[in-house]
Amino acid sequence: MRFLEKFVINGGRPLHGEVRISGAKNAAVAILPAVLLSDGSCVIENLPDISDVSTILRTMQSLGAQIRMINRSTVEIDPRHVNSFVVSKKMAEGMRASSYFLGALLGRMLRARVAPPGGCDFGVRPIDQHIKGFEALGAKMTIENGMVDAKAMSLTGCLIYLDVVSVGATINIMLAAAKADGLTIIENAAREPHIVDLANFLNSMGANIMGAGTGVIKIRGVKHLSGADYSIIPDQIEAGTFMFAAAVTKGDVTVKNVIPKHLESITAKLLEIGCEVEEADDCIRVVASKPLQHTQVKTLPYPGFPTDMQPQITVALGLSKGTSIVTESIFENRFKYVDELTRMGANIKVEGNTAIIDGVSRYTGANISAPDLRAGAALVLAAMSAEGFSTVDDIRYIERGYEDFHLKLQGLGAQIELVETERDLQKFKLKIG
């Protein structure tokens, strides 16, 4: 019998060894649309080979850009023949970053029509701050037939205060303002590493952006942006996921090709719960030789603890001694995976945006489904620590943001396989014995 691809895992084995971290998903999905602002070809390196990136490249192709894959992680994009400003619902579905085409196309053509973003369901993902930013720059915004429409005679720099810290709105305003007339100031801007990466990329094309990584970003518009070669930063969340994989499986894992500064909030929590952490220039080693301890966590905008790491730390705290509390302050509806985790024996009670976790000594194998990207990865970690066999369905979510996830885990000694049929599943179980 054939079914959709799923992971099958035999848990209970500590992970050991080294793993190389890929380019940052959140930087890639902002930098690729930014290429549309250029007057020439751009070469983007260190791209992660994930479905979100291929969706964005297909979308750019549908707009008229010429795409040439140089190798698995490097692409050359020539945007000079872009002649469409429409990103259809079909293109936008399953991709949260589709909204970045609004800012990029508005900046390039003074016109954009984009379907609202898809991706993971975390409840309401308002784009009201994006719209507020575009209107302040001079665009007329309408929403009709399920499409967001933006048009402008011209874009003029201004002061924009974001009511809430929004990564998406900060990125979109930067894209639209890069070629606007005059000075744009974004106050209460997001400070995430991928915001800085986007600013560095735009500046390498000739933009004039200052203050990225702080709460105030200043963008002085320029007439032209030229082509550039650029390498994307390593993925902070992928690195954090493998760091917690060491904690959850009582392993010893070195993550390579990382920027330790970007991981400080994650490192701090691993130390709090009793892991050993060693840092070098571009790698971090996590050793979990002692029982895990309880702690309190609240997700916050960068440099706080990332919302994208909340499911991974919850899985770890589910195995810790005592009672932990995890508060989710960024996205509502981000605890949907807890039901799956309780099927594995976790003792977690969710009240609104808070999870109260009473640690258990172990998880047991179960058949579970990934409800979204990061929760899917976290459930794989839980399955790797669990006693017995687990299967994880809906892994398309995981493939949106992790390159070769199961292969990298295999490289650390995990017993995990991608299976498509019941027969494959049985073969795996027989092989493991």
Amino acid 432: pLDDT: 86
Q: Which pLDDT does position 37 carry in this prediction?
A: 98
- Whole-number pLDDT of residue 325: 98
Q: How much is the pLDDT for 123?
A: 46
Q: Is residue 125 scored above 90 in pLDDT?
A: no
Q: Which CATH superfamily is domain 25-231 in?
A: Enolpyruvate transferase domain (3.65.10.10)
Query: Which tens digits make up the pLDDT trace of 141-151?
Result: 998 888 999 99
How sure is the predictor about 122, in pLDDT bands with cuts at 50, 70 and 90?
A: very low
pLDDT at 35: 98
Mean pLDDT along residues 225-229: 98
Its CATH architecture, for the domain 2-22+234-432, is Alpha-beta prism (3.65)
pLDDT band of residue 2 (cuts 50, 70, 90) is low
Give tens-digit pLDDT for 191-200.
999 999 999 9
283 given a catalytic annotation: no
SS (H, E, C) the chain: CEEEEEEEEECCCCCEEEEECCECHHHHHHHHHHHHHCCCCEEEECCCCCHHHHHHHHHHHHHCCEEEEEECCEEEEECCCCCCCEECHHHHCCCHHHHHHHHHHHHHHCEEEECCCCCCCCCCCCCHHHHHHHHHHCCEEEEECCEEEEECCCCECCEEECCCCCHHHHHHHHHHHCCCECEEEEECCCCCHHHHHHHHHHHHCCCEEECECECEEEEECCCCCCCCEEECCECHHHHHHHHHHHHHHCCEEEEECCCHHHHHHHHHHHHHCCCEEEECCCEEEEECCCCCECCEEEECCCCCECHHHHHHHHHHHCCCECEEEEECCCCCCCCCCHHHHHCCCCEEEEECCEEEEECCCCCECCEEECCCHHHHHHHHHHHHHCECEEEEECCHHHHCCCCCHHHHHHHCCCEEEEEEEHHHHHHHHHHHC
pLDDT, position 97: 83
Q: For the segment 387-428, what is each residue's pLDDT rounded down to a tens digit?
A: 999 999 999 999 999 999 999 999 999 999 999 998 999 999
pLDDT of residue 96: 72
pLDDT in tens, 315-374: 999 999 999 999 999 988 899 999 999 999 999 999 999 999 999 999 999 999 999 999
Residue 173 has pLDDT above 70, yes or no: yes
pLDDT score, position 124: 45
**What mean pLDDT comes out for the span 102-112?**
98
pTM over 0.85: yes
Quote the pLDDT of residue 3.
Answer: 60
In tens, the pLDDT along 251-268 reads 999 999 999 999 999 999
Annotated catalytic residue: which of 120, 158, 275, 283? Answer: 120
Q: Where in the chain is CATH 3.65.10.10?
A: 2-22+234-432, 25-231
